[in-house]
A and B are shown apart, each in its own frame.
Chain A
Amino acid sequence: MNIPFTRHTLGNGLDVLLHEDHACPIVAVNIWYHVGSKNEQPGRTGFAHLFEHLMFEGSQHHDHGFFQPLQGAGATLNGSTNADRTNYWEVVPSGALELALWMESDRMGYLLPALTEAKFTNQRDVVLNERRQNYENRPYGLAPMALLAALFPADHPYHWTTIGDIADLQAAKLDEVRAFFRRYYHPANASIALAGDVDPDQALALVDRYFGGIEPGERVDPIHVDASLSNDVRVHFEDRVELPRLYLAWLTPAMFAEGDADLDLATDLLANGKTSRLYRRLVFDERLATDVSASQNSREMMGYAQITATAAPGHTLAEIERVIFEEIARLAADGPTDAEIERGRVQAETQFMFRLQTVGGFGGKSDQLNAYNVFLKDPAYFPKDLERYQSCTKASLQAIVNRYLDPSHRVTLSIVPHGRASLAASGSVAAAVS
């Protein structure tokens, strides 16, 4: 199981990854810029994502909006921003590859001449509405703001969410957008992957033709800031919800680091799916909760693991918290069962096989090649990534649970109905979120 590819680096530093798959007459074009909300400054949060929106509003030689010519060619396209990176992709019929490269290279090389105050103001309004829709007007929608703020200190680059603070978005200036583009959006801070129905030689020549002449910018040095939790940080806030919900979170190893895969498997066997230990106890047997889930949120500098459960009517977050720590303690003491390890292996194999089905879009083969290249400088990492999961053992998983899911170094967040602060887990202080 792997994603065969060739890699080339243009003279301006742009990495080019090429993968052939002729099953469908389509080509995926995928570009990563190694910049995300972690590159923002306090007081200027939300910038990387707002900038991503502006990349769809036209560039010097096509100042009419990015979607129209591509949709007219039968493409589907999108982009996204997270803490660590920003990606853009198109999936086009094979014959429209050159069009997609023209469009992507024009916005990499020539965005600023087409950028206006009117576009900037319009997209800031759109982003404020995205924030209202996906966070403010959604039950429990402000949880990420409260969790990240409690996990990471105020000057840590993971302290804020990618969508940003309302006041920061409103204070953003067009000049700052220009400076951001020059600093981060250039060939030496980008990686392009083409996957699908392509001739690699022709494709490379086209990429070189369209991107080769774009000037590289100044190299972006990696940033690393440590964080640690010295105790159990207990916070709560009131929201427009019917049922109280408990969030537990711990600081954990970075993406691909030692322990990252074990924590993926540990959170799965604890709380993902109906066979998981916490689902069985909290939802199935004791019926204290209506739902429970968990994840290891892997990031470039460090990760955080999270367990979330909603109290069933008539039950308290205290009951849920107690059961969760009983189950963590049991896993830490006895490790997983052979059946759980075997199940984890089969599920990893299946999940990795699923990832080989699509050439483009979020999570497609082109996106994965770029992820491995940008984060590890190793686009051949796919089989090694699977091996990380296949090589987890009872002992390694048990050790990692002991080390990281520590009851005395964590964040405990309660979200409770308005006016019902007493339903929060005990000893928590009110958090300010917006």
Chain B
Amino acid sequence: MSHPERSAGHALTVDRDRLPVPGPTRVFPFPAIEKSVLPNGLRVWTVNHTQVPLVAFTLLVRRGAASDPAGMDGLAAVTADMLDEGSGERSAIEMHEALARLGAQFDTDIGSDATVTSVTVLSRFTRHALELLSDVVVRPAIRDADFSRVRQLRLHRLTQLRDMPGAVADRAFLKLIYGAHPYGHSPIGSEASLAAMHVDDARAFHARAIRPEVSTLIAVGDCDHGEMVRMASDAFADWTGAGDGERPDEGSLPQAARLNIVPRPRAPQSELRIGQVSAPRDTPDYHPLVVANTILGGQFVSRINLNLREDKGLTYGARTAFEFRRRSGPFVLQVSVQTSGTARAIDESLGEIAGIRGSRPVTPAELELGIAALTRGYARSFETGEQIGRAALQLALYDLPDDYFEQFVPRIEAVTADDVSRVMARHLDPARLVTLVVGDLDVIGRDLSGLGLGDPVVLPPDAF
């Protein structure tokens, strides 16, 4: 960075004919993770991060909605919801009050492969927060009355989700591409499955799935590793479990129709999902797929967003993602487009996917931009304790090596244009891409039939 003359006529010193070329980026190593394992199998990881006096705890249990038993969609989520509803003699309200007294930021998050409980507090509450976290995860009371209330709230939530086009699309799309596979339902489950559940199911699920040997406690903050291990040993000493909780895949994946619609009369926009089952997190093609997705639909200047938003003005934004999971996850393009532009948006989207598979390979400029966007700003993903905790969680959830973050930048930089075409051709198959529309069938039905994808299969809104 040059030292301009302060006294010079400033406007004159500015060269507006060309953009400044950024200087080199200071190397920023991912903070080191110290690791221990307790006798019961619980892994305890700590990262020293002392910018602000906060400690961020993340407790990962590698069991999630994919472990829902057949016919009991939503059990993992409702069990997770029961964790902070009281423990031992403590009622649900008393547990909430105990967390509130610490000013704790407390959250439970459930995905297909994991249940994650997190709590962030001022450093002076570290020990207290850890004890509460263990009460929540290890010793939830799961009382009948609380279970009924929590389940009822989830049923109300399902009722409300029926009016939310994005939620309808997400649920319908998973069912279309996965069918009876453990990834084929959203974590909240369905009215029928929730109604059939009993409090004993939640207790049994907790005993079977929420176990120390599939769990990792991650603490990020001003914490000494040895001290944290001692505190965790005290708090989690009596945590045991038996069983597995994994649910096997069920047969082959379905092949849905190429074009499907859930009617939403008078909708001003159509909610679109286009995609298929693609690759698992441990695919050797991970880094090329990340680069490819960035160029296709993973950033503002992606092909899809520039086409549908900046060129045609059909949407507020369009994006794509490979949702990597332990088993093969979905690739999905998602966008809300104005009703009149529905067929055009589908046609353009399919064209962009076909293009990046090979007919319009990525240009050197696109590749350079995509790689730079992924690597040059890498450091900003590790600014807060919670961000570092989430990053460490990726290592624990997907069995990634300790040097994963150090290797990320060089591995992304090594991706070539040929790699992009190759992996997109391998993991995306135009003949298998499934398109789902939640929109106004009466208005767009004819346009949809003209897409060459066959007449749209009409799905009833309550089918999911």
Contact = CB atoms under 8 A, between A and B. Distances in A.
A41 interface: no
A426 interface: no
Contact of B164 (A65, A121, A125, A138): A138
Contacts of A61: 16-17
A74 interface: yes
A2 to B, nearest CB: 12
A111 B282 CA distance: 47
Given A74-B25, A94-B25, A242-B162, A129 B97 contact: no
A324 to B, nearest CB: 19
Contacts of B314: 125, 129
Contact of B377 (A74, A137, A206): A74
Contacts of B385: 357
Interface stretch (B99-107, B108-116, B192-200, B390-398): B99-107
A209 interface: yes
A24 interface: yes
Most-contacted residue by chain B among A106, A139, A310 (CB, 10 A): A139
A209 B157 CA distance: 55
A61 B11 CA distance: 14
B429 to A, nearest CB: 29
Contacts of A136: 268-269
B344 to A, nearest CB: 13
A75 interface: yes
A99 B383 contact: no
Contact of B153 (A126, A209, A290): A290
B97 A275 contact: yes
B316 A209 contact: no
Interface string B289-321: 000000000011100000001110111100000
B368 A72 contact: yes
Interface string B67-102: 000000000000000000000000011001100111
Given A102-B19, A290-B156, A275 B96 contact: yes
Most-contacted residue by chain B among A106, A132, A197 (CB, 10 A): A132
B19 A62 contact: yes
Interface in A120-152: 121-130, 132-134, 136-139
| A interface, size bucket | 35 or more
Contacts of B103: 343, 346-347, 349-351
Interface stretch (A153-161, A170-178, A279-287, A406-414): A279-287
B463 interface: no
B376 interface: yes
B428 interface: no
B269 A350 contact: no
A287 B131 CA distance: 31
Given A75-B377, A242-B159, A273-B100, A209 B10 contact: yes
B6 interface: yes
B100 A347 contact: yes
Contacts of B163: 139, 240-242
A242 B25 CA distance: 53
B155 to A, nearest CB: 9
A43 interface: no
Interface of B: 1, 3-4, 6, 9-14, 16-17, 19-26, 28, 51-54, 92-93, 96-97, 100-105, 120-122, 149, 152-153, 156-157, 159-160, 162-165, 267-269, 271, 299-301, 309-311, 313-316, 336-338, 368-369, 372-373, 375-380, 382-385
Interface of A: 21, 23-26, 60-62, 65, 67-69, 71-76, 91-99, 102-103, 105-106, 110, 121-130, 132-134, 136-139, 197, 202, 205-206, 208-210, 212-214, 240-243, 273-275, 280, 283-284, 287, 290, 310, 312-313, 339, 342-343, 346-347, 349-351, 353-354, 356-359
8 contacts: A25-B379, A97-B1, A129-B336, A137-B165, A202-B3, A206-B4, A273-B100, A358-B384
